[in-house]
Structure 1
Amino acid sequence: MHTPHPAEPILQITERTEAGARVVVLSGEADLDTVQPLRVVLQDAAAHADPLVLDLSEVSFADSTMINVLLLAHGELGVRLRLASPSEFVRRLFALTGLEGVLPVYAGVAQAVGADPVGP
């Protein structure tokens, strides 16, 4: 009997513009094998002046690679990077690593989009 291999984990990225901010929705697993497309999005955002909101509500898994990518992006983008609606998994990860006080995290996308440009 042949057992099919599980589908490769994937990080889906969709984008839209909302009130002058670039909103990027991440869905799925953000780890060493899947995070490269997010790196590209963040590098592109560094070249523009618009705020970048990452909607993390649909992230089912993230590891230290994702944390590293977010910290590097925060260094590049500063207050223009805004993390919104972290999933329960991401909330626990940020709490365990102490990132909840380091990265700008907002309860929802609307709050992140409308945030004061000097930060939360």
Structure 2
Amino acid sequence: MRLCLIIDDSRIIRKVARRIVEGLGYDVEEAGDGAEALSFCAATMPDVILVDWNMPVMDGMTFLQRLRASEGGDQPKVLFCTIENEPSRIAEALDAGADEYVMKPFDGDILGSKFADVGLA
């Protein structure tokens, strides 16, 4: 089965996203920050990653840059899921290697369409 890693410091957001992503047919793992997520990816590279921008310890942008520079880190599809809505921030994330950008709050239809946009659904 395909694996999705959800990275967000909010347990509630992780729970909501988990329910949606499992409904799309994925196994789900969770991380509370980018450092925890990088450790997970070093052991098991997921197929897709949903990552928040603003988190303690290591933010989503730093995580993305380090992921993409790591061995195999070019493989997972990465979707930023964040409240950051400035066009410059969206462009920054996409330029750094994100495959898609999802605005919070999101629902199953939005997340499902974003997965389809990057060839995952």
TM-score normalized with structure 1 length? 0.45
**Bigger share in helix:** 2
Larger Rg: 1
TM-score normalized with structure 2 length? 0.45
